[in-house]
Amino acid sequence: MPTVLRINGLRVVIYPNDHQPPHVHVKGPNGEAVFNINCPEGPVTLRENDGFSKAQLNDIEEPLNANLRHLCAEWRRIHD
């Protein structure tokens, strides 16, 4: 599971054998969330959350959207 981005100590990962639609897993010591990245236009949307507060999710969503092009390119690179 390649780490494709780090956000304030959290790892943003894409699993190589994962399913569509394009999405990322955000992993931290106390939680994990899955965001659909809605390539190529975005914005990212929360699909699953286990352990993050609403405030933490907001703090995660902003940098994911700011790095949307990179995340979409990484999804394509890993899955093509």
> pLDDT for 4-39, tens place per residue?
999 999 999 999 999 999 999 999 998 999 999 999
pLDDT tens column, 39-77: 999 999 999 999 999 999 999 999 999 999 999 999 999
Q: Is residue 80 part of a domain?
A: no
For residue 23, which of 7, 6, 44, 4 has the smallest C-alpha distance?
Answer: 44
Question: Does 38 map to a domain?
Answer: yes
Contacts of 48 (CB under 8 A, 6+ apart): 32, 33, 34
- Is residue 46 situated within a structural domain? yes
Q: Is the pTM of this model over 0.85?
A: yes
The residue segments making up the domain with residue 29 are: 3-75
Instruction: Please give the backbone phi and psi of residue 14, each rounded to the nearest 5 degrees, phi first.
Output: -125, 125
Total domains in the chain come to: 1
